Structure formats: C-alpha cells, structure tokens
Amino acid sequence: MANVKNSPGRDKYIIAIEYLKGINREVNLEKAYQLTLEAANEGFPYAINSLGAFYLNGMHVASNIDSAIKYFLNAYHLGNPKAAFNLCYLKQKGIEHIDLVESKDGYFSKAVEFALNDLQRGENIALDFLIEDIGATKERIDYLLKKHILSHPICSICDEYIIEKNKPFKDIIRFGDLGNLNSLGKQDVIIALKADPIVTKGLSCYPCFVKYVQPMRELFFDGFISRTHLDDIMNESLNSIENRLELLKNAIFLYNMKKIYDKKKPGSI
C-alpha cells in the first residue's frame, strides 16, 4: 500500500499542528499558519481543511465564513474526513449556504467514510480524528474498518480501489475467505481476488491478478523466486509502488526468458 508519509505537504502540516497546539514546540500561530498554507498549496487535503478552520475561527486571519466554507468544500471534494466533519458542524449550527448541499447527517457519514478510506491507506491522522473528534473507541474503529475494507477493497498491488478500477470485471471470480462479503449484503460486488503469494494478506484487482499474481504464483511454485525475495520486492518501506511493479515485471520477464531458453536447449548456435 502507498506510503502516506510521502504525501506532498504532509510533513509541513504535522509541524503546523505542533505549532498550533504547542506539541514539542512553543505555540506559534504565525508559523502554524504559514506551514499550513504551504502544505495546502502542495495539495495536502488536511491542510486545506485547516485553512478553513483558520478562517472559521478568525485565527491569524480575519474571520470569514465564506472563505472557511470554500476551503472546507475544497478539502471535502478531495475526500477529507475533517472537512466533512466541519461541514456537518456548520449545518448543525444552522449555517445555510448554497454550496452546502448535503444534510448534517450526510456530512457526518461522509466524515466517517472518508476517515476509513484514509485509515485503510495507513493515514494515522484519520485514526486520531476518529478517536478525538468522532469519539469512536478502538473496538468500534476496528469493526468499522473491517466492514469498510470488505465493501471498499483496495488492490494490494496497485493500490487502486478494486471496484472502481474493475467495473467491467464485476462478476468475475470469488475466492476463499471473501465469503463473508455475503453477510454484508454485497453479493453483487464480489470481484476481489486473493493476492497470494505476492502479499500474504490482501486482495488484488483483476488486471493485477492477470499481470502479476498468476505469473508470480508460477515463479513461486517453480522455486524460481523465494518467499524472502517476494517479501523484499513487496516491502513498502524499501520500495515505492512504481518500484515494486517494476521489480515484479522484471522477475516475470526473466522467468519467461528462461522458459523460452529451456525449450530451445541445447541453446542457440
């Protein structure tokens, strides 16, 4: 899965929050605002939402509800949970605005859904949000996340949402331990494929299954590639997603070359 810690602007946002809340640093609104602005310009959704909060509360900038709504909506459209939560808050306060098209409850459920999306991709800010802002317990989050992952499976290989990416393959295959999708009432979207042996716990989209999982299975069972080698390829702290796909492709390429060579024995003359 993608390393969220590399998201542009994320580091600046984290420091901005530290300046804002006085964590590890003296409170400094000016620095908090500047870093938030920079992180927002780099496109980090949590920072874009934060700018809205600066305007809503008149912190460091003059209070301006229209600017606040503008930033909240920008972040909301990027799927940011805090922005959805802030829009829910505005609705609850009885603030009406032509662009606030969802109901209070609608924004609230989006806040939870977006947080689970982020959490699924390893974004811990979403975890803090669920605990601190939503007041969810760890057990509740575990439960929600399990349910969410089953209904919004992400491909462990390319990191895309399986359902979005695979519309044409919707009814294709159903594997082993996905049986409990049925109990969640998702009978018609059983499209996730198990990504073994590339990832020991995870799912694959159909294109990745054909392109990587099947050939890697063959390599693995023929002893051409070891468990350790596979784990090294898929190690997300060692390799970026692009890197991993490249390494998988190379391994498959070499294997195919070897097969051709084996057939041609005793060798080309």
Using the minimum distance from each CB to Zn ion, give the nearer residue, 126 or 157. Answer: 157
Restricting to residues 35-74, name those near Zn ion by CB under 5 A: none
What's the token pair of residue 142?
A: 């575990």
CB 160 → Zn ion: shortest distance, Å?
A: 6
Cross-strand pairs, 194: 203
- Whole-angstrom Cα distance, residue 240 to residue 233? 10
CB 150 → Zn ion: shortest distance, Å?
A: 17
CB 209 → Zn ion: shortest distance, Å?
A: 8
Q: Cα separations (Å) of 213 from 72, 160, 198, 248, 257?
A: 40, 15, 7, 9, 18
Using the minimum distance from each CB to Zn ion, give the nearer residue, 190 or 205. Answer: 205
Using the minimum distance from each CB to Zn ion, give the nearer residue, 45 or 153. Answer: 153
Q: Got the DSSP string for 61-93?
A: S---HHHHHHHHHHHHHTT-HHHHHHHHHHHHT
Using the minimum distance from each CB to Zn ion, give the nearer residue, 111 or 155. Answer: 155
Restricting to residues 188-227, name those near Zn ion by CB under 5 A: 205, 208
**Amino acid letter for position 68:** A
Restricting to residues 139-158, name those near Zn ion by CB under 5 A: 155, 157-158
- Please, are residues 207 and 166 in contact by the beta-carbon 8 Å criterion? yes
CB 194 → Zn ion: shortest distance, Å?
A: 13
CB 222 → Zn ion: shortest distance, Å?
A: 23
Using the minimum distance from each CB to Zn ion, give the nearer residue, 25 or 170. Answer: 170
How many residues bind Zn ion (CB under 5 A)? The answer is 5
Q: Is 126 in the site for Zn ion (CB under 5 A)?
A: no
For tokens 């498959």, name the residue: 252
- Whole-angstrom Cα distance, residue 176 to residue 155? 16
Q: Which residues of this chain interact with Zn ion, rule CB under 5 A? A: 155, 157-158, 205, 208
